[in-house]
Structure 1
Amino acid sequence: MKDLIAKRYIKALSSVANEDELREYLSCLDILSNAYNISKFREIMEASYICVSTKKELINKVLDKELDAKFSNFINVLAEHKRLDLFCELKTELSSCISALNKEYKAVLISKETYEEDILKDIEDKFGKQLNVKLKLEQITTSNDGIKLVVDDLNIEISFSKEKFINDLKHHILKAF
Structure 2
Amino acid sequence: MNEVVAKKYVKAILADLKGAELDTFTSDLEKISEAYEYEKFKNIIALPTLSSNEKAKFLISLVKKPSQKFQNFISLIAQNKRFNLLPLIANGLKAERAIAQNIYLGKIYANTKLSKEQVKALEDSFSKRFDAKIELEVSDKSYNGVKVELNELGVEVSFSVDRLKAQMSEYILKAI
Which residue does 1:15 correspond to in 2?
A: 15
Task: Normalising by structure 1, report the TM-score.
Answer: 0.67
Residue deviations 1:54-108 (CA, integer Å, cap 9, x gap): 3333333333535233x23322331222112333333333222222222222333
8 A contact 2:45–2:83 mirrored in 1 = yes
Cα distance, 1:142 vs structure 2: 6.0
Alignment pair present for 1:61 and 2:79: no
SS in structure 1 of the partner of residue 62 of structure 2: helix
Match of 1:31 in 2: 31
Instruction: Report SS of the residue matched to 1:82.
Output: coil
Contact 2:10 2:93 in 1 (8 A): yes
* Residue type of the alignment partner of 2:87: C
CA gap of 1:32–1:131, structure 2 versus 1, over 3 A, is same
- Equivalent residue for 1:74? 73
- Distance, in Å, in 2 between the alignment partners of 1:120 and 1:66 is 34
What does residue 149 of structure 2 align with? 150
**Alignment size in residue pairs:** 170
Contact in 1 for aligned 2:28/2:66 (Cα 8 Å): no
Q: Can you list the C-alpha shifts for 1:83-140, whole angstroms capped at 9, x where unaligned? A: 1233333333322222222222233344567777666544433322222211134557
Match runs of 1:89-104 below 5 Å: 89-104=88-103
Change (3 A) 1:52 1:112: closer
Offset, 1:18 = 1.1
Amino acid of the structure 2 residue aligned with 1:98 = R
Kindly indicate whether the alpha-carbon contact (under 8 Å) linking 1:26 and 1:94 is maintained by their aligned counterparts in 2.
Answer: yes
Which residues of structure 1 form unaligned runs of 5+?
none
Q: Structure 1 CA distance, aligned partners of 2:55 and 2:119? A: 46
Q: What are structure 2's unaligned runs of at least 5 residues? A: none
Q: Describe the SS at the equivalent of 1:149.
A: strand
